[in-house]
């Protein structure tokens, strides 16, 4: 059994290379995927033009994927509540959708919504993006971070509470390796394994042991020194550590912190997520009030709010869970993404599977939940679309054969 487990892990790891260049990101009620060829497709809610296909307003939602106009070289994507952004291969950024506070970053002080992508001003060396409810941030090649948009809670980290329609420098961040944005806060993982956060902190998502309405400059998260990745949800934050365990902090009204001893109390400092044991977690995703983790064997566990079935475990009672539960039928995931009340996973064969809230067609399976049923959604994953993989399974044929895999023309399987 141990050999089978190890081989399964190696197979999932190798096959994940086949989906290189593809990524998924979810907003409040819309979803997007960057395709391996550099294009982007989106689906779901579109009142503010966040699908990027040139339409907006009532009646423009789409329960199936549509092409984002003019994007052909996307390297990755990120979603806010009602806006979307794409990082292009040259390090520039384009955004589209709602622009109430300058979150599109194009310098337009009229803050007009845009149904097609616009250029973010002054960003030419971005390596990753992180979007909040109405703010946006970019990590640059030199380890610094720039943010733009809404700033009432210090979301931009520039020491002010003034909104900006163009990017501004986050203070005192010079060695960031990744970034994450929650509803009104943001965080940066630094090269030394520590984390700094800024913005709204009424429920403790900044993790510095205190509670405050706003934190306008970055402060260190208490007790985190070995982080390898970070994620931010509505009002909570989590980090994956070098030993594969996971810590979370912030608001815990639905059990989204995943503590072994369930509590409704918020946590101002990080605590351990139960059932995520040493060296099993590879990446994390946070939604409005729920959290998920991708494990080394390609399975996914989720916990917290299950009002719309966003835990994906098939529980028709939609009961919240303060401890991780298995997402039904997902065994070969390579990445995950969470929206406010839904979640999606990208599988090794290029399939995108989604579950949870579906009032606006954000699951991408061609249907919408009945708006007259308050908690209607899909409590198990449904198929949204399949990404054409850039490289076939045979891209790693020699490596697979050396590990005991048999590589066929159409699929890979393990000879035990």
Q: Do 290 and 359 meet the contact criterion of CB atoms below 8 Å apart?
A: no
pLDDT class for 22, splitting at 50, 70, 90? confident
Is the pLDDT confidence value at 137 over 50? yes
Q: Answer yes or no: are the C-beta atoms of 225 and 278 closer than 8 Å.
A: no
Burial of 5 (0-12, 13-18, 19+ CB in 10 A): exposed
Residues 68 and 401: their CA atoms lie apart, in Å, by: 40
Average pLDDT over residues 132-161: 98
Cβ neighbours for 139, distance < 8 A, ≥ 6 positions apart: 126, 127, 128, 129, 130, 145, 176, 177, 178, 179, 188
* pLDDT tens digits, 207-254: 999 989 999 999 999 999 999 999 999 999 999 999 888 999 999 999
- Domains contained in the chain, CATH given: 1-20+391-416 (no CATH), 23-390 (2.130.10.30)
The β-bridge relationship of strands 185-190 and 195-201 is antiparallel
pLDDT, average across residues 349-355: 96
This prediction's pTM: 0.89
3-state secondary structure of 185: strand
Residue spans of beta strands (DSSP E) within 132-280: 135-140, 145-149, 164-169, 176-181, 185-190, 195-201, 212-220, 227-232, 236-241, 246-250, 267-272
Helices then strands (H, E): number in the chain? 2, 30
Q: What is the average per-residue pLDDT within 133-159? A: 98
Comparing CA positions, the residue from 229, 275, 241 lying closest to residue 255 is 275
Residues 274-295: tens digit of each pLDDT: 888 766 889 999 999 999 999 9
- Tell me what pLDDT residue 14 has: 45
Q: Are 333 and 22 in contact (CB under 8 A)?
A: no
Residue-averaged pLDDT of the chain: 89
Per-residue pLDDT at 48: 98
Please tell me the predicted confidence (pLDDT) of residue 264: 63
Model confidence at 12: pLDDT above 90: no
Average pLDDT score over residue span 133-144: 98
The whole-number pLDDT of residue 315 equals 87
Using the predicted structure, report yes or no on whether residue 17 has a pLDDT greater than 50.
Answer: no
| Paired tokens of 143 | 């380890």
Render pLDDT for 241-282 as a digit per residue (tens, 0 to 9): 998 889 999 999 999 999 976 566 789 999 999 888 766 889
Examine the pLDDT at 393 and tell me if it is beyond 50: no
pLDDT value at 399 more than 80: no
Residue 255 has φ and ψ, to the nearest 5°, of 80, 20
Q: What is the reported pLDDT for 409?
A: 43
**Can you name the residues that pair with 118 across neighbouring β-strands?**
95
For 82-128, how does the pLDDT look when each residue is reduced to its tens digit (9 = 90+)? 999 999 999 999 999 999 999 999 999 888 999 999 999 999 999 99
SS3 381: strand
Check if the beta carbon of residue 235 is closer than 8 Å to that of residue 207.
no
pLDDT tens digits, one per residue of 283-333: 999 999 999 999 999 999 999 999 999 999 998 887 899 999 999 999 999
Beta bridge partners of 188: 179, 196
Strand segments (E) across 19-125: 23-26, 30-34, 40-44, 62-67, 74-79, 83-88, 93-97, 114-119
% of the chain with per-residue pLDDT over 70:
86
Alpha carbons 264 and 186: distance in angstroms, whole number? 23
User: Is the alpha carbon torsion for 140, 145, 146, 149 positive or negative?
Assistant: positive
Picking from 190, 209, 193, the residue whose alpha carbon sits closest to that of residue 201 is: 209
């Amino acid at each position: 059994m141990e050999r089978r487990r190890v081989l399964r892990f190696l197979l999932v790891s190798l096959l994940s290379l086949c989906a290189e260049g593809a990524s998924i990101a979810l907003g409040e009620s819309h979803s997007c995927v960057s395709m391996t060829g550099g294009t982007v497709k989106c689906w779901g809610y579109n009142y503010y033009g966040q699908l990027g296909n040139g339409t907006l307003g009532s009646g423009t939602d789409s329960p199936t994927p549509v092409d984002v106009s003019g994007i052909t070289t996307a390297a990755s994507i990120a979603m806010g509540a009602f806006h979307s952004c794409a990082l292009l291969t040259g390090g520039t950024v384009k955004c589209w959708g709602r622009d109430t506070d300058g979150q599109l970053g194009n310098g337009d002080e009229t803050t007009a919504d845009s149904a097609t992508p616009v250029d973010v001003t002054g960003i030419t060396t971005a390596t990753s993006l992180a979007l909040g409810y109405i703010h946006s941030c970019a990590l640059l090649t030199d380890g610094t971070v720039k943010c733009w948009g809404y700033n009432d809670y210090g979301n931009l980290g520039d020491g002010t509470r003034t909104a900006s329609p163009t990017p501004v420098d986050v203070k005192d961040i010079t060695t960031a390796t990744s970034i994450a944005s929650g509803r009104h806060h943001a965080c940066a993982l630094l090269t030394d394994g520590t984390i700094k956060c800024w913005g709204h902190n009424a429920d403790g998502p900044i993790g510095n042991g205190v509670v405050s309405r706003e934190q306008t400059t970055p402060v260190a998260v208490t007790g985190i020194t070995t982080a390898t990745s970070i994620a931010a949800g509505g009002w909570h934050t989590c980090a994956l550590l070098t030993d594969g365990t996971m810590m979370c902090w912030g608001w815990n009204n639905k059990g989204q912190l995943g503590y072994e001893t369930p509590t409704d109390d918020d946590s101002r400092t990080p605590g351990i997520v139960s059932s995520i044991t040493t060296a099993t977690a590879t990446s994390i995703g946070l939604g409005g009030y729920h959290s998920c983790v991708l494990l080394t064997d390609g399975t996914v566990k989720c916990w917290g709010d299950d009002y719309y079935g966003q835990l994906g475990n098939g529980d028709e009672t939609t009961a919240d869970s303060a401890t991780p539960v298995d997402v039904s039928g997902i065994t070969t995931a390579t990445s995950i993404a969470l929206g406010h009340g839904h979640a999606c996973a990208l599988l090794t064969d290029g399939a995108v599977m989604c579950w949870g809230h579906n009032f606006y067609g954000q699951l991408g399976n061609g249907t919408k939940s009945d708006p007259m049923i308050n908690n209607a959604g899909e409590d198990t994953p449904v198929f949204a679309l399949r990404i054409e993989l850039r490289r076939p399974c045979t891209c790693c044929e020699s490596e697979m054969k050396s590990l005991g895999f048999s590589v066929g023309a159409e699929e890979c399987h393990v000879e035990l």
